């Protein structure tokens, strides 16, 4: 099902984005010109009437976006796992002592060495989906890897490697 998002200019205020959920509930986000954001829940009996208006700070809006983005991505990966026999997904933390801290994803050659793919990196509540080979790892990053059990174990070993000589 494709979700339609309606954008409405609010002269002097900002812009409102609304969507209707599969269950028929209408909700929106009002982005004010001054940077303020409000999460808006409309009355199910009167779609033009606001049932709840929740002001969000920048940090709250970012946290909500991260929660929704991460859970959606991981849910999609989980669905993919069910469709593709033998493929697994796993989250692997990069330890502080890893030789790949402050190095680029491409330096790992993880896909070439293991046939497993790093499809996202979670850092400080932010999801970096499909990171480029130039993406630099930091201690504590959590990589989301898709592959066989052997491939996932291989990526885990690569990222845990603290030997600077490889």
- Both 62 and 46 in a single domain? yes
Is 165 a domain residue? no
Mean pLDDT, all residues of the chain:
84
Q: 3-state DSSP: the chain helix, strand, coil percent, rounded to 5?
A: 30, 40, 35
Rounded mean pLDDT of 16-25?
Answer: 86
Q: Which of 62, 54, 60, 13 is nearest to 34 (CA)?
A: 13
**Structural domain of residue 132, as residue ranges?**
88-160
Convert the pLDDT of each residue in 25-39 to its tens digit: 889 989 888 888 999
Q: Please determine, for residue 87, whether its predicted confidence score (pLDDT) is greater than 90.
A: no
More confident residue, 7 or 163: 7
Task: Specify the pLDDT at position 100.
Answer: 95
Q: Choose one of 42, 64, 84: the last residue of a domain.
A: 84
Long-range contacts of 80-89 (CB under 8 A, 24+ apart): 80/146, 81/146, 86/148, 87/146, 87/147, 87/148, 88/146, 88/147, 88/148, 88/149, 88/152, 89/119, 89/144, 89/145, 89/146
CA dist 61 and 64 (Å) reads 5
Is the same domain home to 109 and 138? yes
Last residue of a domain, one of 84, 115, 132: 84
pLDDT of residue 134: 95
Domain ends where: 84, 115, 133?
84
**76 and 93 together in one domain:** no
Query: What pLDDT is stored for residue 62 in this prediction?
Result: 79
Supply the pLDDT for residue 117: 92
What's the maximum distance between 2 C-alpha atoms anywhere in the chain? 67
The model's pTM: 0.50
Task: Confirm if 114 and 151 have CB atoms less than 8 A apart.
Answer: yes
């Amino acid at each position: 099902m494709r979700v339609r998002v309606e954008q409405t200019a609010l002269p002097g205020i900002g812009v409102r984005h609304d969507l209707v959920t599969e269950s028929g509930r209408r909700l929106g986000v009002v982005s004010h010109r001054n940077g303020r954001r409000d999460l808006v829940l409309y009355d199910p009996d009167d779609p033009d009437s606001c049932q709840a208006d929740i002001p969000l700070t920048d940090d709250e809006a970012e946290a909500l976006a991260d929660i929704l983005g991460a859970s959606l991505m991981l849910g999609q990966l989980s669905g993919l796992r069910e469709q593709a026999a033998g493929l697994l997904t796993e989250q692997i933390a990069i330890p502080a002592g890893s030789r790949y801290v402050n190095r680029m994803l491409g330096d790992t050659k993880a896909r070439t060495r293991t046939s497993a793919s790093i499809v996202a990196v979670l850092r400080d509540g932010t999801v970096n989906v499909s990171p480029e080979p130039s993406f630099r790892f930091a201690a504590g990053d959590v990589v989301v890897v898709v592959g066989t059990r052997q491939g996932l174990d291989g990526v885990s070993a690569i990222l845990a490697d603290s030997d600077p000589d490889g």
